[in-house]
């Protein structure tokens, strides 16, 4: 464990050293040094405008992921109960969501909704919905039908069976989708903000680029990366250990 941490620290230090060397040879117009980036980084984090932008973007990521989660989950589950929905989702909606590049969705949504909160949020929702659809399909395929049958001997209400038996079996699949969609959401939102927002990290990046403040572009890039890493390693791992264990299928003790 200690050895691992030391190696990780060494890897990061090497990266920074290489960056330093490269920056020393390149023009500061092309590549700022780690020191310059750090200075700008601290500058951003000590301004209320900086935190406001991070907050704006985080809100969009959250709202967009939530909408994508609800829409994707609903779409995937209806395919279990209606053959019409099955055809619609499998042969139209899912391929469409999956194959149209995010940048195209972003352009279209900005055209439809203008420079507003709506466009970036919907771009995220559209980008992450397929993760939920595909993960829940996987979950439904692995569904323990013997439990569903057992529940069916106590009620005829499909809704009750869905809520009490089927959905809990899907939680770990939904969580896996949240995890993988989060990174995509974060990348997509910045793109969408560059195109169609007047606040947020993407917008700040765009402004920094417009005035050719390369230090600031780098600092914002670093902030984005740190947020994604923090979520993936810290928060999701914690949720996984603390809450998700219970919902995972488990080997039973032999009788």
Residues at the interface with another protein (CB under 8 A): 146-147, 149-157, 160-161, 164-165, 168, 246-247, 249-255
Cα gap 121→104, rounded to integer Å: 14
Burial class (CB in 10 A: 0-12, 13-18, 19+), 139: buried
CB 218 within 8 A of CB 32: yes
Give whichever of 147 and 227 is closer to another protein, judged by the CB atom.
147
Give whichever of 121 and 136 is closer to another protein, judged by the CB atom.
136
Q: How far is the CB of 14 from another protein (least distance, A)?
A: 44
Q: How far is the CB of 180 from another protein (least distance, A)?
A: 22
CB 145 within 8 A of CB 88: no
Give whichever of 101 and 254 is closer to another protein, judged by the CB atom.
254
Q: How far is the CB of 239 from another protein (least distance, A)?
A: 16
Give whichever of 98 and 157 is closer to another protein, judged by the CB atom.
157
Burial class (CB in 10 A: 0-12, 13-18, 19+), 85: middle
CB 120 within 8 A of CB 64: yes
Q: How far is the CB of 7 from another protein (least distance, A)?
A: 36
- Residue 252: DSSP 8-state: P
Q: How far is the CB of 168 from another protein (least distance, A)?
A: 6
Cα gap 196→179, rounded to integer Å: 26
* Exposure of 37 in the CB half-sphere (CA atoms within 13 A): 19
Owner of token pair 């169609």: 196
Q: How far is the CB of 175 from another protein (least distance, A)?
A: 13
Give whichever of 83 and 153 is closer to another protein, judged by the CB atom.
153
Give whichever of 161 and 201 is closer to another protein, judged by the CB atom.
161
In sequence order, the 6+-apart residues with CB closer than 8 A to the CB of 28 are 36, 214
């Amino acid at each position: 464990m200690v050895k691992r941490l030391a190696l990780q620290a060494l890897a990061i230090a090497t990266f920074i050293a290489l960056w330093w060397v490269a920056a020393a040879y390149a023009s500061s117009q092309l590549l700022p040094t780690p020191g310059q980036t750090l200075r700008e980084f601290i500058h951003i984090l000590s301004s209320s405008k900086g935190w406001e932008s991070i907050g704006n973007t985080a809100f969009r990521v959250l709202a967009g992921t939530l909408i994508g989660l609800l829409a994707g989950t609903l779409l995937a589950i209806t395919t279990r109960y209606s053959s019409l929905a099955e055809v619609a989702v499998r042969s139209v909606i899912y391929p469409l969501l999956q194959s149209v590049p995010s940048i195209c969705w972003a352009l279209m949504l900005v055209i439809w909704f203008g420079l507003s909160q709506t466009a970036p949020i919907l771009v995220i929702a559209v980008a992450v919905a397929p993760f939920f659809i595909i993960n829940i399909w996987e979950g439904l395929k692995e569904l323990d039908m013997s439990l569903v049958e057992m529940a069916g001997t106590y009620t005829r209400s499909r809704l009750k069976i869905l809520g009490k038996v089927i959905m809990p079996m899907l939680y770990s699949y939904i969580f896996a989708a949240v995890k993988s969609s989060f990174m995509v959401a974060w990348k997509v939102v910045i793109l969408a903000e560059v195109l169609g927002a007047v606040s947020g990290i993407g917008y700040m990046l765009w402004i920094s680029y417009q005035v050719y403040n390369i230090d600031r572009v780098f600092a914002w890039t670093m902030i984005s990366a740190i947020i994604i890493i923090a979520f993936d390693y810290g928060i999701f791992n914690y949720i996984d250990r603390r809450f998700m264990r219970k919902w995972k299928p488990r080997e039973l003790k032999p009788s």
